[in-house]
């Protein structure tokens, strides 16, 4: 089944439960304002509110020298290009940014930038700041930054948003502040994540599925496996219907269809369970599915200043 081409309908009968604020974690690794939320149920498709606009932002591109890292057992030594995509959502007078992409310091640098230099190099053709300016925004206008996970190509510009509330799964935040494991590559990614995340002044630690605006229009939902606290995003638009933004629950359409788990994922079983969760949600919400790193798909999607509504 082609999960990416499902058509919009409105079905379902679950009840929205708005997340309730609870006390912050007893073990808080960094200072700053930390708010934890209890998980909330996913929205009722027939009753969910609407976000106003969804913009795709070009947040980088990359070239990896061994596709088999993402497709174990196949494509050994074959190079592959990936897209890096951020998404900007308007909800009333509020703006929410999904991921922050490759650091702006990489802009037009012929050497590029890397999270794992022996494997992959990222390039940045446009900055977030310049793309915001195309619709009259600046970084300080962004009230919330939601983090799919803490790999560097997703959090490279967190320093641009010191006033924003950072929405991240508690499991993810705790993981990057935990001890090293057996994989040198993963340990390197965790160290870079701590550096790029910095010390958010407003930190919203989430425990599972969370209704961001309380009306079912934007829902963050847990999809662990790629990292322990990975999350994806469900947005509801009046004309485009429901759209799921993948984060890194999957990198390529074929991986999604065949439950192929990249070698760098921290938990294979959790990765497969998260992909199955997304497949069920696509069926429930008749949702479109936008895969962050699938360059072939991303190149066909609207780019800011164009938008989905």
- Report pLDDT digits (tens) over 34-91: 444 555 689 999 999 999 999 999 999 999 999 999 999 999 999 999 999 999 999 9
- Report pLDDT digits (tens) over 86-122: 999 999 999 999 999 999 999 989 999 999 999 999 9
So what's the pLDDT on residue 41?
A: 84
- Report pLDDT digits (tens) over 151-165: 999 999 999 999 999
- Indicate the domain borders of the chain: 32-298
So what's the pLDDT on residue 217?
A: 98
So what's the pLDDT on residue 13?
A: 27
Q: How confident is the model at residue 198 (pLDDT cuts 50, 70, 90)?
A: very high
- Report pLDDT digits (tens) over 4-42: 443 333 223 222 222 222 233 333 444 444 444 555 689
So what's the pLDDT on residue 12?
A: 31
So what's the pLDDT on residue 39?
A: 54
> Is residue 36 within 8 Å of 210, Cβ to Cβ?
no
- Report pLDDT digits (tens) over 236-259: 999 999 999 999 999 999 999 999
CA distances for 246 relative to 75, 230, 276, angstroms: 23, 10, 13
So what's the pLDDT on residue 66?
A: 93
Find the range with the poorest average confidence among 180-189, 193-202, 211-220: 180-189
Q: Give the CATH architecture of domain 32-298.
A: 4-Layer Sandwich (3.60)
């Amino acid at each position: 089944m082609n999960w990416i081409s499902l058509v919009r309908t409105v079905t379902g009968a679950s009840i929205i439960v708005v997340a309730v604020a609870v006390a912050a974690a007893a073990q808080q690794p960094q200072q700053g304002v930390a708010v934890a939320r209890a998980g909330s149920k996913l929205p009722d498709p027939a009753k969910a509110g609407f976000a106003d606009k969804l913009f795709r932002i070009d947040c980088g591109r990359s070239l990896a020298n061994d596709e088999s890292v993402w497709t174990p057992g196949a494509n050994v030594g074959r190079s592959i290009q990936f897209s890096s995509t951020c998404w900007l959502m308007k909800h009333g007078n509020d703006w929410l940014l999904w991921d922050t992409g490759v650091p702006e310091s990489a802009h037009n640098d012929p050497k590029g930038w890397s999270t794992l230099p022996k494997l992959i190099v990222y390039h940045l053709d446009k900055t977030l700041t310049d793309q915001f300016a195309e619709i009259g925004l600046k970084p300080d206008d962004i009230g919330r930054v939601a983090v799919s996970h803490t790999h560097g190509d997703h959090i490279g510009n967190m320093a641009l948003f010191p006033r924003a509330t950072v929405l991240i799964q508690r499991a993810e935040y705790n993981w990057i502040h935990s001890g090293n494991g057996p994989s040198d590559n993963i340990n390197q990614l965790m160290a870079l994540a701590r550096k790029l995340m910095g010390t958010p002044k407003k930190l919203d630690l989430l425990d599972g599925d969370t209704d961001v605006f309380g009306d079912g229009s934007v829902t963050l939902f847990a999809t662990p496996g790629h990292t322990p606290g990975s999350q994806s995003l469900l947005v509801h638009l009046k004309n485009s219907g429901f759209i799921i933004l993948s984060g890194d629950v999957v990198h390529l359409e074929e991986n999604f269809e065949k439950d192929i788990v990249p070698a760098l994922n921290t938990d294979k079983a959790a990765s497969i369970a998260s992909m199955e969760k997304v497949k069920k949600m696509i069926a429930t919400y008749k949702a479109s599915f936008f895969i962050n790193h699938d360059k072939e798909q991303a190149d066909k999607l609207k780019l800011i200043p164009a938008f989905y509504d």
